Amino acid sequence: MTLRPPSKLPQVGTTIFTVMSALATEHGAVNLGQGFPDFDPDPRLQALVAQAMRAGHNQYAPLAGVPALLEALAEKIERCYGRACDPGREITVTAGATEALMSAVLAVVHPGDEVIVLEPAFDSYVPAIRLAGGRPVLVPLAPGDYAVPWKAVRAAINRRTRLLMLNFPHNPSGAVLGPADLDALESVVRGTDVLLLSDEVSEHMVYDGRRFESLARRPALAERAFVISSFAKTLHATGWKIGYVLAPRELTEEFRRVHQFVVFAVFTPGQHAIAAYLRDPAAYETLAAFYQAKRDRFRAGLAGTRFRLLPCPGTFYQLADYAAISEEPEEAFARRLTTDYGVAAIPVSVLYERPIERRVVRFCFAKQEQTLDRAIERLGRV
């Protein structure tokens, strides 16, 4: 007899990203579903990993991260957001943003605590809250521009609220916060004990000359925030699983208590390589122009199709409204797009706890020009 214990996450099946990628492979479709580049990181960065291995950096890294990387991150944070921090006590290197999110939630959310999540949301948020015994409180972003409904956020806060989770530039919509949003956020949390978790993995992908409004810029927000980022997108290396979290000393201490027993430490040669690579700020400062060119190519290519493109101020995702093409629910349409037309996309409805159908799918444009052109040609036939 096989024992089957009661599931801690009974609602969770295989993620939509895995499902759509498998379907794309099966049907030879262009995979614009899961968010990863179809090109490699800079060869110079790859060489730095090999160099770190040859230099003997192959054993456990310190729990918090390799000191050279922590220092490089502190410099980057100060350069980008004007925040001076103590690398030894306020930054921790993590196994991607996913581990940072999970460890932060496990560190501060107690059974019965409420956690506010803005939907649509990255798929790991709600399971992390449930594993911690917390209760997700879901607040949908505004239809159309995916703006934060600050009134609704304020109304969702009560004395059980432990944490508010934010993700800007937003996956899947690309929405970004402006200074007025940070003002509103300051006002919403002032006088409360609510902590913040800001998932900023697409921090360097903000377009059309706009400035990225990291929570790290505002002392009144940073003093209660876990600010999380990842090298997955910034360095085209989703498979390396190296990220980091910036948080005030007290929050970092709690974070590390969990991180220590989740992974203890992160891939040592990668940390050394990234530390050396970040010495040149071009490593991240050129990213917006690089992806803006891809966004513009993709949008121009789809302009003549029946898809209606939503604004894309950030991230490497483009949302497309297909109401003029079909009345099918999003998941059925995304599957048919893959099987019948050969382009995989992500139905946005699955990124809500209770699916909200708006006839919108997400395409990832982190692809080589020929991949994008192939997808454009196929989508033109829809």
Q: Which residues bind ligand PLP (CB under 6 A)?
A: 35, 96-98, 122, 167, 171, 199, 201, 230, 232, 238, 241, 243
Structure tokens at 316: 């490497």
Structure tokens at 309: 């493109």
CB closer to ligand PLP, 284 vs 341: 284
- Taking the complex as a whole, the smallest distance from the CB of residue 238 to ligand PLP amounts, in Å, to 5
- Taking the complex as a whole, the smallest distance from the CB of residue 313 to ligand PLP amounts, in Å, to 15
- Taking the complex as a whole, the smallest distance from the CB of residue 103 to ligand PLP amounts, in Å, to 12
- Taking the complex as a whole, the smallest distance from the CB of residue 84 to ligand PLP amounts, in Å, to 25
d(Cα 376, Cα 379) in Å, to the nearest integer? 5
CB closer to ligand PLP, 97 vs 245: 97
CB closer to ligand PLP, 57 vs 236: 236
Structure tokens at 129: 């809250």
- Taking the complex as a whole, the smallest distance from the CB of residue 97 to ligand PLP amounts, in Å, to 3
DSSP 349: G
CB closer to ligand PLP, 238 vs 326: 238
Question: Which of 352, 354, 334, 350 lies closest to 342, judged by CA?
Answer: 334
Q: Are 149 and 139 in contact (CB under 8 A)?
A: yes
Torsion sign over Cα 42, 229, 316, 105:
positive
Give Cα 100 distance to the centre of its chain: 11
Q: Are 294 and 316 in contact (CB under 8 A)?
A: yes
State phi, psi for 336 to the nearest 5 degrees: -70, -35
Return all residues near 280 (Cβ < 8 A) that are at least 6 apart: none
Question: Which of 115, 118, 120 lies closest to 194, judged by CA?
Answer: 115
CB closer to ligand PLP, 348 vs 376: 348
CB closer to ligand PLP, 35 vs 174: 35
- Taking the complex as a whole, the smallest distance from the CB of residue 197 to ligand PLP amounts, in Å, to 11
Q: Which single residue brings its beta carbon nearest to ligand PLP?
A: 96
CB closer to ligand PLP, 130 vs 342: 130
Structure tokens at 331: 């998941």
- Taking the complex as a whole, the smallest distance from the CB of residue 6 to ligand PLP amounts, in Å, to 28
- How many CB atoms lie under 10 A from the CB of residue 58? 11
